[in-house]
Amino acid sequence: MKIIERYILKNFLPSFIWCLTIFLFLYVIIDLFANLDEVIREHIPFGTLVYYYLTFFPLIFVQTSPIAILLATIYNLSNLNKNNEIVAIKASGINIWGLIRPILITGILISIMVFIVNDKIVPRSANISAQMRETLIDKKAPAETKILDNVAIYGRKNRIIYARQFDTQKNELSDLVIHEHDKDQNLILKISAQKAKFVYGKWYIYNALISQVNNQGQFTNEPKFYKKTLLDMEERPSDFLKREWRPEFMSYRELKRYIKLFKMGSTKSLNRLKVDLCYRISFPFINFIIILIGAPFALHIRRGGALTGIGISIIIALFYYAFSAITLAFGKAGMLPPIVAAWLGNIVFGVYGFIKMQKLR
């Protein structure tokens, strides 16, 4: 690594980390004061409160990292420009792309990190924080007469369990579909039933068809039909209440499998789920694209320094998120293909940033 690259990163990384830290503390403070009455009234232990807010850290990191990168990029490049260090760097034979290359590489690495955190950690931590909030702060109890639509959970024995409806009062699942997979995620068993009812600690299925499947997806024998039979399923009705699937609680693989399963039930929200799936891939790249957008603005700043940079950062972020929100809304409404809706913001702003950078060469 060249001396100039180390110099740029030495200033960029602390700024990025400071921005993230500030966002974390601001979120915790604002949320804590908003719920302070409930916290005091319910006598929530300090340790529980700390654990509750720790579960938010992965989500805050994912959501605020693009803004933190933008702030750090504009702040550092505008300071270099203000102090005429850009002129000295160009005089030494380094062009604009060489100047921002270490920041771009860092942006790619952060994008990869954001994808991993968003895929592996955020779904679990968000689920934990949501359950803790319901039980500790909101004090929500499951509604006895509530009917849930399109319920799906990951069950034991590597099963995906889906039901078109779940009647929490009768403990009945309607239009039940169960897919059991082996350790390599190959489908080995398929169970479909018109109804399943939980009686005295056991599940019974009615008008059911049970099929064994091999690795090639073919039936190994004739599907067996049962008017009524006992179902070997360890999940209880409470599991369907606590573990109802929501896209924000799923990893990319889980959401992809859920979409495949969802085709067998209602297709009303299928397009929305496909947009969410594509957005899981496109969102982390905002951390890279945002550098291309912010750098040209920062290199034009000569007066105002940090304050001007912060103002421009806010404006850019608002335009970027507004445009992405609009395209995602169009995609979920069926007006744009899911992949176009998810990637259009990155493509448009990425091309714009690239063109602006080329003009600075």
Q: Is residue 179's pLDDT more than 80?
A: yes
- Tally of structural domains, the chain: 2
Provide mean pLDDT across the span 334-338: 89
* Residue 252 belongs to a domain: no
In tens, the pLDDT along 203-240 reads 999 999 998 887 666 777 788 899 999 998 888 887 77
Which stretch of DSSP H or E encloses residue 234?
A: none
Listed residues 178, 200, 234: the one ending a domain: 234
Calculate the dihedral angle through the C-alpha atoms of 121, 255, 140, 268, rounding to the nearest 10 degrees: 160
Residue 247 lies in a domain: no
pLDDT of residue 18: 93
Percent of the chain with pLDDT over 90: 28
Q: Which domain holds residue 292?
A: 3-138+278-359
> If pLDDT is split at 50, 70 and 90, which confidence band does 269 have?
low
**What mean pLDDT comes out for the span 129-151?**
68
User: pLDDT grade, residue 286 (50/70/90)?
Assistant: very high
And the tokens for 250? 């799923």
Residue 138, helix vs strand vs coil: coil
The order of strands in the sheet holding 224-231 is 147-155, 159-167, 172-181, 187-199, 202-212, 224-231
Identify whether residues 17 and 70 lie together within a single domain. yes
Q: Is residue 255 part of a domain?
A: no
Same domain, 134 and 282: yes
Q: What is the pLDDT of residue 262?
A: 61
**Residues 169 and 148 sit within 8 Å (Cβ to Cβ):** no
State mean pLDDT over 238-249: 68
Q: What is the pTM of this model?
A: 0.72
Is the pLDDT at 164 greater than 80, yes or no?
A: yes
pLDDT at 90 over 50: yes
281 pLDDT more than 90: yes
> What is the structure's pLDDT at 309?
61
**Same domain membership, residue 164 and residue 120:** no
Last residue in a domain, options 167, 200, 234: 234
Q: Give 326 or 245, the one with higher predicted confidence.
A: 326
Q: What is the mean pLDDT of residues 270-290?
A: 90
The answer to whether residue 317 scores a pLDDT higher than 60 is yes
Residues 130 and 169 placed together within one structural domain of the fold = no
Same domain, yes or no: 100 and 162: no
Highest mean pLDDT among 188-202, 215-229, 292-306: 188-202
Higher pLDDT, 81 or 108: 108
Do the domain assignments include residue 149? no
* 97 vs 13, residue with greater confidence: 13
Sequence-ordered list of residues with C-beta below 8 angstroms from that of 165, at least 6 positions apart, any chain: 147, 148, 149, 150, 151, 173, 174, 175
Q: How far apart are CA 165 and CA 143, in angstroms?
A: 15
Position 142 scores a pLDDT of 47
Residues 198 and 324 in one domain: no
State whether 102 and 69 are in the same domain: yes
Are residues 75 and 176 located together in one domain of the fold?
Answer: no
Mean pLDDT value across residues 89-108: 84
Q: Is residue 254 part of a domain?
A: no
The mean of the pLDDT values for the chain is 83
Mark whether 100 and 166 lie in a shared domain. no
- Do 62 and 109 belong to one domain? yes
pLDDT band at 16 (very low <50, low <70, confident <90, very high): very high
Question: Considering the domain boundaries, does residue 246 fall inside one?
Answer: no
Contacts 24+ apart (CB under 8 A), 132-137: 132/48, 132/51, 132/52, 132/55, 133/52, 136/42, 136/44, 136/48, 136/52, 137/35, 137/38, 137/39, 137/42, 137/44
Instruction: Measure the CA–CA gap between 315 and 320, rounded to whole angstroms.
Output: 9
Residue 58 contacts residue 125 (beta carbons within 8 Å): yes
User: In this predicted structure, what is the pLDDT of residue 158?
Assistant: 79
pLDDT of residue 8: 86
Query: For the residues 141-166, what does the mean pLDDT come to?
Result: 75
Tens-digit pLDDT profile for residues 44-81: 888 888 898 899 899 899 989 998 998 888 888 888 87
Among 234, 263, 294, which residue terminates a domain? 234
The CATH number of the domain where 224 resides is what? Answer: 2.60.450.10
| In a domain? residue 43 | yes
Of the candidates 303, 255, 262, the residue with the CA atom closest to the CA atom of residue 279: 255
Of the pLDDT bands very low, low, confident and very high (cuts 50, 70, 90), residue 305 is: low
**Same domain (yes/no): 351, 319:** yes
3-state secondary structure (DSSP) of residue 170: coil
The reply to whether 55 falls in a domain is yes
Is the same domain home to 213 and 287?
no
